[in-house]
Chain A
Amino acid sequence: MDQYPDENEEFELQYQDELELLEDLPDEFNAYDGPSTSKQAAEKQKENRAPVAALRDSTRLGNSTLGSPQLSQITFGASQLGGEEEAEGTSSGGQVNRRLFGTPKGPPVGRGCSTPFQRMPAIQELENTQLTSRSYGLEKENAAANQLQEVGLKNVNKRRLERDLFGDIDDLFHESYEDPMVKKARTEEQRDHEAIERILELRRKMRESSKTLRKDDVSRLKALHDFKMRNLSYEIPNWPFLAIQRSDLERIYVRFHSEDYEQRQLDLISARGEVVGSLLGEAKDKIWQEAGEIVLSRATAAEDADVTLVNSNANSEPGRLWVDKYKPRKYIDLLSDEMTNRSLLYWLKMWDKVVFGKAFHSKREQEAVTGEGGTAGGAANQLNSFNKRTGKFESNGGWRQRKSRQALNTNVDALGRPMQKVALLCGPPGLGKTTLAHTIARHAGYNVREINASDDRSPEAFKLALENGTQMSSVLNEDKRPNCIVLDEIDGAPRQSIDYLVKFISDAVYTKVKAKGAKAEHNVLKRPIICICNDVYDPALRPLRQVAFVVTFPPIDAARLAERLVKIAFKEQLKTDFGSLIALAEKSGNDVRSCISSMQFFNAQKHSLTLQDVLNNNLGQKDRHQGLFAVWDAIFRIQRPRKTLHTDANKVDEPAQVTMTNTSVTTRVRNVLEVVHSSGDYERLTQGVYENYLQQKMPDPNFTGVCEALKWFCFTDTVQHQISRQQNYSVYPYLQYGFVAWHLLFATLAWPKIAFPTRGFEFQQKSTNQRNIFQALCKGVTTSALGVGQGGTLLLDTVPLLKRILSPQLRSVAVQLLSPKEQQDLRHTIEVMVDLGLTFVQVKSQEGHYVFQTEPDLDALSAFPGYTGLSLPYFSRQLIAREVDLERIRRAAPKGGAPSAPAAKKKTSGAAAQLPNHLQTLKPKPISASNMHSAPKQQLTKDFFGRITHKSTSTNSAEESKTDAIVKSPIWYRYKEGFNNAVRKDVHIHELL
């Protein structure tokens, strides 16, 4: 009855040992470094083990348990008496028991220590004495049987402890692989390429984790097994041995080793952990077991996911937006370009050294670690601290940093960070840039902290948020994930904030040292920062663009977006087809947000989404600005894909009897209106159409189309004039319909040849130059030459003929040698030029020659191609220029006579000053003078009174004589009718005195 539980225990031991053997065989084979004879012995052992695995296993276990007590008994028996031998044997067993049961975590450590300790004295004593006797064997067999039972019980206890430890490790192991498993499944469903890559990545991760686990927990078992295989054999080996016979009469050969071999064994034990770690990941059995567990966990995860999906559908269906509901939450779900996704993920992984303490380049880093000679204990400490506490996590990071510094990777700096500290995602809105940043950061193990840079506009708030994000972590964060900062809409941030960000990235050490004064701590950037913007070429982003890792978003593939929309429609039970969704994607410019919102809109109306609905609705139309050439292409070219789509529309609209031609024209009109509306510069667009429409190949024999087009140009000009002069913007929309008319008249299927319109601009420039020259000419005309007219009359009538008037035929000789006629002509020319303010000025032409041209330039005015201007030769111009200057000096000479004119004025003023005095004294006379003036008129009218005429003349002469008398002498006599006794004379006062 006692033997029955023993058999059960042996069965369990058999099962576990089989697994261990299967796992350990390739490792042993690879790692065995002994001589050739040892290898042959190992091979023989394998061959012997293959046919009778079960029996050999059980017998081996029994031998192993018997071996150690036998060795100990032999040694004691040889040295001392039989009775004392028995007593000592029991005491040694008691010690072993106490050690094993003394501490709960002690058993593996104790066992690891006890085995080599016991082996060493046994080997030495055996070498000294080689006595063997059957009688001693029999007594010892009895004692061995008792000890065997005790050892078996102890072994059972140890195995249970290992199970507990291993079970926990397995749980941790499986939890870490949940996400990649889900993603792996989806990749297999979607694309082979991604699936292969992800499988490889998962395998690498599994190897790493399996290696780390193996080092920690299974190394002891493996070491023990290796020891047994090298030192025990069932057949006669080549090395020196001691033959021992068990109770079932089977012989066991125990190996003898020299002292040198003992030293080598000690060295191997010290290096064994690394070897084990490096080889464990490639064990097939382990991988198979893990695969099975993965499948089981995936099934359970799928069930949980289904349950959660059902719950979420039931709960959040009424009021949740599809844009949030179907947002990508895992790396597999991202719609953007895979290269873009991988490049950003690679950049984030480059931060793993600094943030997580992981090796970015796994193979090189691991070799470096092994090369450094780290002990298994050190590795265990490292892993333990990673699993348990966060405090030692940083210290491990520092340790890794030292290693990576020695590696000197060109893509990272001395601290292990990537050279580009910031990633800058740029692209048009609606492509999923923010979603990509969040998903990849979460996938890489970060806690995403988003800062909308356009909301926190002040530099102080920006600085505070940036420092808090990089140097703090959330207390409520149960996952203990480090922060990754996402600066959304960075192009809306003020320039000061971006400047601070650039300093924060590059000069963090300097600023911190300055800020903290004497402190030696350097607060370097240890967290990645992702910036998102729409326009990467914004002036404010220039300093950031130079130091950042710029990721440009290409447009999303319409087919890929349509596939995603099909899935969403299927889940939400919206009836639609793939073609309609492709049209929706193309219409919105592959804008994910716009497409999903449009689908939700149609679902709310409880209609099925058809191609006609997509084409007819204005949903998804964003304010997109197109270039000038794109608009001109749309005007001069008929787009073929539109026809194809309308063919489908035609089929759909068969009940409505919509014909092909009408649909086509309608679509063309709508397309042109949309394209023209997207770019608002109608005047420039009109100029471009005007300068290019005559070069289009059009079958128009009678100019009917050209006339129609030009009528529309006149209409556009009238409306444009109305807008600019009257500010009547209510007529602004009518400008678009001119483009529709030009499209219908001149569009073809061929590719149009369009040149940028420059003639209008050149025309305006030339007109401005002509106007300026003409104004200069008008200002130069003196007041004595007003007969030439003003304004347009001067330009049209005078200037063309003036060129001929100023072109006399002169011989190239000196002035004095000219004929009288030539001199007269020369004089005339000079006077005309001075009157009009013209002269000849010597300038250098473009060819380098010196020429005389009029100032202002008459040759430029009214200069038509094929018509000559002034026809004077060089010498004549030079001569006339000199003479014109002389004439100007001569005309300015009267101004030199100015000093005489003031003198004359003074004299005249003096005379005027004197005259009033006389006039004042003669005041009564003017009245009589006026009377005399009237009198002669009367006389003249009356011809019969000749005497009156004489009287008037006599009075005039009398006045003159009186004035003379008054001027000459002080005495004057005035005759009055009546008394004559008054005589007046001037008397001086001094005569009276």
Chain B
Amino acid sequence: MALWVDKYRPRELSKLDFHKDQAENLRNLCKQSDFPHLMFYGPSGAGKKTRIMCLLREMYGSGVERLRSETMTFTTPSNRKVEVMTVSSNYHLEVNPSDAGMYDRTVVIDLIKQVAQTHQIEISGQREFKVIVISEGDELTKDAQHALRRTMEKYVATCRIIISVNSTSRIIPAIRSRCLGIRVAAPNETEIVSILQNTCKREGLALPVELAKRVVDKSERNLRRALLMLEAAKVAKAPFTANQEIPDLDWQVFLRETASQIISEQTPAKLEKIRERLYELLTQGVPPNLIFRGLVEQLVNNCDMSIKAKTLEFATEYEHRMQSGAKHIFHLEAFVAQFMNIYKKFLSELDMTDDF
């Protein structure tokens, strides 16, 4: 309970700071004796997990907050053991299947079977089902999602599933249709500013409005990131000033520099150096699709309007191909080389135009 993101986290639906109408709807949903499978979707840092925990507390009471960590071991059909970290209470279980990598299908099936096969012993005053929370649901492989279809239907009497995803486009339509979609939008600037100011008030600090707005812009309306940035800024310099430096994410700065190097020079030697930088990003765990998006944003901002469309076209093409491959470095470098190609042609045409 030391970091601000945990210290000042709402614990009940009535104490949420934004999306209060949605909270009211969730509360009404809990009053029913039964509710369907749920899918919370929205960008990262919007409060999906917080709302899931508040919902569970509304259903089961404060016992939900007594959590314990557990490492569960699953055996794949090829006799390979996979360990997955889970957080559970007496009423629910929370798991992140993407930790298992390509073996998430086994994790999903066996986990739901273990939970669903045990009925509730004491039904008076409680729900008849348990809840399984699947974090980062859009990281599930297609096989795992297809396996989840029948499992959701088969064990619906004793088990309900709440999936938390960033985007529903990567969830197969069968799963989407079996879940009630609840959209959790990112908070707007005013809401984040008020949240930050309340937090600083409780911490005994004075937060200038200009600094709060700059933090909101830099965090891209990600509340977790905003709170962490504010806390890091507080450690760097205690009395807040309107123009003080806000710490940035290292991988974003590195990615930005990579894009600027692509713009500055287009040679095979430079392409080889760019490859090294891409390897570095992939090694540190930055997802390749995030790398693609970061590169595209920086390159599109720094190039002419005439080649923006081509750049976006090639980016979408290579990212789509990357989903069907395993060596991401090939596709990233292919996109970089293609951009160098069209940028060089643009520059040469520009020179010819100047001559004319």
Contact = CB atoms under 8 A, between A and B. Distances in A.
A binds B: yes
Interface of A: 690, 694-695, 698, 700-704, 706-707, 710-711, 713-714, 716-718, 720-722, 724, 759, 763, 766-767, 770-771, 774-775, 778-779, 782-793, 795-798, 800-802, 804-805, 807-808, 821, 825, 828, 831-832, 834-835, 861-865, 867
A717 B136 contact: no
B235 A787 contact: no
B337 A797 contact: no
Contacts of B253: 867
Contacts of B232: 801, 804-805
Given A717-B327, A800-B249, A867-B250, A774 B87 contact: no
Nearest to B102: A725
Contacts of A707: 334, 337-338, 341
A795 B325 CA distance: 24
Nearest to B236: A804
A938 to B, nearest CB: 22
Contacts of B324: 718, 721-722
Interface stretch (B22-30, B176-184, B206-214, B278-286): B278-286
B69 A783 contact: yes
Interface stretch (B122-130, B151-159, B222-230, B300-308): B222-230
Given A714-B325, A801-B232, A804-B232, A789 B330 contact: no
Given A703-B344, A717-B327, A801 B228 contact: yes
A787 B3 contact: yes
Q: Which of A721, A770, A797, A807 has the most CB of B within 10 A?
A: A797
Interface in B118-170: 135-136, 139
Interface residues of B, number: 70
Contacts of A785: 1-3, 6
B44 A797 contact: yes
Interface in B52-68: 67-68
A835 B2 contact: yes
Nearest to A806: B235
Nearest to B345: A702
The 5 A-B residue pairs whose C-beta atoms are closest, nearest first, are A831-B2, A710-B334, A787-B5, A783-B67, A717-B325
B250 A864 contact: yes
A805 B250 contact: no
Contact of B228 (A700, A805, A825, A828): A805
A797 B225 contact: yes
B96 interface: yes
Interface stretch (B31-39, B108-116, B186-194, B264-272): B264-272
B341 A702 contact: yes
A877 to B, nearest CB: 16
A753 to B, nearest CB: 14
B350 interface: no
Contacts of B344: 701-703
Interface of B: 1-3, 5-6, 9, 44-45, 49, 67-69, 71, 85, 87, 96, 98-99, 135-136, 139, 222, 224-225, 228-229, 231-232, 235-236, 238, 247, 249-251, 253-254, 266, 268-269, 271-272, 275, 279-280, 282-287, 290, 318, 321, 324-327, 329-331, 333-334, 337-338, 340-341, 344-345, 348
A710 B251 contact: no
Q: Which of A763, A770, A807 has the most CB of B within 10 A?
A: A763
A863 B229 contact: no
Contacts of A770: 283-285
Contacts of B99: 775, 778, 791
A787 B224 contact: yes
B318 A714 contact: yes
Contacts of B254: 864, 867
29 contacts: A694-B271, A703-B266, A703-B337, A703-B344, A706-B268, A710-B330, A710-B333, A717-B331, A770-B284, A774-B285, A782-B69, A784-B1, A787-B5, A787-B6, A787-B224, A791-B98, A793-B136, A795-B285, A796-B249, A797-B45, A797-B224, A800-B249, A805-B3, A805-B228, A832-B2, A835-B6, A862-B251, A863-B284, A867-B253
- Looking at chain B's contact residues, is the secondary structure mostly helix, strand, loop, or mixed? helix
Contacts of B85: 778-779
Contacts, number: 191
B2 A807 contact: no
Contacts of B272: 694-695
Given A704-B341, A706-B271, 14 more contacts: A710-B330, A710-B334, A710-B337, A721-B326, A770-B285, A782-B69, A785-B6, A791-B96, A798-B228, A801-B229, A804-B235, A835-B6, A864-B251, A867-B250
B247 A804 contact: yes
A787 B227 CA distance: 11
B116 to A, nearest CB: 23
- Looking at chain A's contact residues, is the secondary structure mostly helix, strand, loop, or mixed? helix
Nearest to B340: A703
Contacts of B290: 796
Contact of B321 (A702, A714, A759, A763): A714
Contacts of A706: 268, 271, 337, 341
A703 B3 contact: no
Nearest to A687: B327
B283 A767 contact: yes
B222 A797 contact: yes
Given A783-B69, A791-B139, A711 B334 contact: yes
Contacts of A766: 283
Contacts of A835: 1-3, 6
A884 to B, nearest CB: 12
B203 to A, nearest CB: 10
A721 B325 contact: yes
Contacts of A863: 284
A713 B71 CA distance: 40
A807 B235 contact: yes
A792 B286 CA distance: 8
Contacts of B135: 790-791
Nearest to B222: A797
A961 B90 CA distance: 40
B229 to A, nearest CB: 6
A695 B337 CA distance: 15
A872 to B, nearest CB: 11
A698 B44 CA distance: 45
Contacts of B348: 702
A902 to B, nearest CB: 18
B9 to A, nearest CB: 5
A433 to B, nearest CB: 45
B123 to A, nearest CB: 20
Nearest to A710: B334
A864 B285 CA distance: 12
Given A713-B330, A721-B326, A804-B236, A792 B136 contact: yes
A710 B327 CA distance: 12
B45 A714 contact: no
Contacts of B98: 791-792
Q: Which of A702, A710, A720, A778 has the most CB of B within 10 A?
A: A710
Nearest to A778: B85
A24 B175 CA distance: 118
B238 A783 contact: no
Given A800-B250, A862-B284, A779 B71 contact: yes
B228 A763 contact: no
A417 to B, nearest CB: 58
A820 B52 CA distance: 39
A801 B45 CA distance: 15
Given A710-B334, A800-B250, A832-B3, A718 B87 contact: no
Contacts of A798: 224, 228
Q: Which of B136, B286, B334 has the most CB of A within 10 A?
A: B334
Contacts of A792: 98, 136, 139, 285, 287
Contacts of A722: 324
A9 to B, nearest CB: 107
Given A801-B229, A862-B251, A821 B139 contact: no
B49 to A, nearest CB: 7
